Amino acid sequence: MADTPEARTQLARLARDERLRDAAAVSSLIEQGFGTIVDGLAAEAAASDDVSNNETALQYLEGRLAFFDGLLSPDQQARLTEALREKIASW
């Protein structure tokens, strides 16, 4: 998905930072709220009826990260993926 108002709104909710709705500020604010975004995505996965184990959690999270593709740099995407893998490793 491209950088859209909907994607920025969802990212702002995950990061608990309404400033992420501003397209010009997204990259630096993602860095500032990185841990909160990881925690928010992991919490979403844990609450999802579609997630029952580590494998399904990873599938869910990969889909969520794909939704934010236009907002995340390749480095941010890779780091979020790794942080989420570590976070759900024990599920």
Digit-by-digit pLDDT tens for the chain (91 residues) are 568 889 999 999 998 899 888 878 888 888 899 999 999 999 999 999 999 999 999 999 999 999 998 888 899 999 999 999 999 998 8
Query: Which ranges in 1-91 belong to alpha helices (H)?
Result: 5-15, 26-32, 34-47, 54-67, 74-88
- The confidence score (pLDDT) of residue 1 equals 54
How far apart CA 72 and CA 29 sit, in angstroms, is 11
pLDDT of residue 21: 85
Q: Is the pTM of this model over 0.75?
A: yes
Token pair listed for 84: 């989420």
